[in-house]
A = this chain, B = another copy of it.
Amino acid sequence: MPVTSPTTFRTTYAEIAAKAGVSRATVSRVLNGDDRVNSDRAKAVIEAASKLGYRTNRAARALSTGRTGQIAVVIDDSPNVLSDPFWGVVLAGISRVLMVHDIHSVLMVSQLESEDSPIANYLEGGDVDGAIFLTVHKEQVVHSLVKKGLPVVVIGTPIDLKSDIVYVDTDNRLGAELATKHLLGSGCKKVATITGDISAVAGIDRLEGYKAAHKSLGHEFNPDLVAYGDWSFENAKTLTLRLLARNPDIDGIFAANDTMALGVMAAIIERGRMVPDHVAVVGFDDNLMAQTHRPGLTTIRQDIVGLGAAAAESMLAILQGETPVPKILPTELVLRESA
């Protein structure tokens, strides 16, 4: 039933074939770079195709080859995680790399509740050639997809490492160590940390880095200086107030992300103390806020676009039949005023 008119008239192989005086099979061969076609004919086909403004019909190709040229980019979370610029940038990195390879990114934002939630179901359905997960809450679902043969790349280290999920991540541990060492190395005697959500590997690793820095610099690790946060501003602020009340002599705080670092600073100011004079602060991410806040936030920069790009490249590798190894991207300390 013709609900709407066709948006455009497409030219088909049949027309090209007619114009170039060859068969559709030959058109296909030429247009797919099969070089065992007589070069004169090939030239004729190419010319006819360009004259007619040929555009390949992806649906037809997908039906025929079983490959869609589309990758799902899945955010296993509520839509508002996209309010964190981090994911937008990752997305851009993915999209850019895939687009170069003529692969489209299909965005799906929704909780992956169970193994037969609509999205999981859809992903198995074969309408995409693979899936890149930006955030994963139900790791079990991802495993089951992998087991079913779907090419999968996840961003962020999986909890269950023995599984053979392909992933890319930032070197959270080393980054956190860098941050903490900077604080300890610039004269701080008592450095606390506000962790991220430690049910996520990123949260754990950044805490591990904090501990490692203490160990490597000969400082004793004091559990009382660790406050367990959840990546959010408000929570970090509350925790910091509590921390400062209990340990008034804290003179440095490593917050596991920038948003929390801002919360930390807000708390410090509220207590009538100064950053960095009384308490130095280091964050993690180097997002826009770190740059625009006053005082500027000293933080750990991660290569966010690179993270997306790496994920996309791993996906491409899988699609080629390779089995890429996990990639861990380096970090870098960015000095501003807060520490």
Chain A contact residues, CB within 8 Å of chain B:
3-8, 10, 55-60, 62-63, 66-68, 70, 73, 79-80, 82-85, 87-89, 91-93, 95-96, 99, 104-110, 121-122, 124-127, 129, 148-151, 233, 259, 262-263, 265-266, 269, 287-289, 291-294, 305, 319, 321
Contact = CB atoms under 8 A, between A and B. Distances in A.
Given A55-B124, A59-B62, A289-B289, 6 more contacts: A58-B125, A82-B88, A82-B89, A83-B85, A91-B107, A265-B294
Contacts of A126: 6-8, 10, 55, 57
Contacts of A106: 70, 104-107
Contacts of A259: 288, 292
Copies of this chain, count: 2
Contact of A83 (B83, B88, B122): B88
A125 B8 contact: yes
A73 B109 CA distance: 14
B55 A121 contact: yes
A191 B105 CA distance: 46
Given A59-B68, A59-B127, A305-B79, A109 B84 contact: no
Nearest to A5: B149
Contact of A79 (B6, B58, B80, B93): B93
